[in-house]
Amino acid sequence: MTSASRSLLAACAAMLWVFAGGCQIRQDMADQPKNRPLSPSPFFDDGRSERPLLENTVARGSIADDDLFVPKESNAFPLPLTPELLKRGQERYKIFCSPCHGIQGDGNGMIVMRGMKRPPSFTDPHDPRLRQVPNGYLYDVVTNGFGAMLSYSAQVPATDRWAIIAYVRALQLSRNAPASELPPDVRDKLPKGDSAK
């Protein structure tokens, strides 16, 4: 091997080393030894970096929900009723409830069409039961589930649950309002035969 080819080889090796080293550094920055939300972790036996609650502990902030707790039998409503709360409730109802309960609360949502057990209509004019249950009962159903419906406490925070309940009450009212209680300008829009109802 001539000295020229030897130095060429050395230069190539040096370049390769720099190149490989450079790549290594890049990967270190992109894959830092830290956990991101829901990233796997070999440190714990179950492979999760997010840790479940230990027994007999409560999550930070969950005490705040205590103010929003209303017993099943109580008809209290723990938040001030505002148009914003109703709007929020409408939005959350569409996201989390309408798949089964339907956009009108009649229990004809898309998932029911797919074969889910049909929930009772809570706006049914012929069945006042769910229109008469106290607010606390509705809160309990959303929080802990009922029948085929599992708990929605993980998906819907407590304030949103109350927003939804407010909206459900508005739905029940709107689906069962007698024409005589409508404001005159709205009543005029009704088809003529319906105004007697």
Partner 1 sequence: MAQIFHRSTNFISRFSLFSAVFLVGLGLVGVLGLARSPYSTNQNVVRAQPVQFSHKHHVGDDGLDCRYCHTSVETSAVAGIPPTKTCMNCHSVLYADAPYLEPIRESFRTNQSIQWVKVHRLPDFVYFNHSIHVNKGVGCSTCHGSVNQMPLMFQASPLLMEWCLDCHRNPEKVLRATKEDVFDMNWKAPEDQAKLGKQFAIERKIRTTAELTSCSTCHR
| x/- track of binding to partner 1 for residues 95-134 (CB under 8 A) | xx--x----------xx--xxxx-----------------
Smallest distance from partner 1 to CB 126, Å: 26
Query: Mind giving me the DSSP string for 95-108?
Result: IIIHHHH-TTSSS-
Question: In terms of CB distance, is 44 or 69 closer to partner 1?
Answer: 44
**Greatest C-alpha distance within the chain:** 109
Work out whether 30 is an interface residue with partner 1 (CB under 8 A).
yes
The binder of partner 1 chosen from 77, 78, 91, 143 (CB under 8 A): 91
| x/- track of binding to partner 1 for residues 33-52 (CB under 8 A) | -x-xxx-x-----xxx----
Other Cβ atoms closer than 10 A to 165: 23
Work out whether 148 is an interface residue with partner 1 (CB under 8 A).
yes
Strand partners, 40: 48
The CA-based dihedral angle spanning residues 11, 17, 21, 23, taken in that order and rounded to the nearest 10 degrees: 80
Q: Which stretch binds partner 1 (CB under 8 A): 6-14, 68-76, 121-129, 150-158?
A: 150-158
Identify whether the C-beta of residue 49 lies closer than 8 Å to the C-beta of residue 40.
Answer: yes
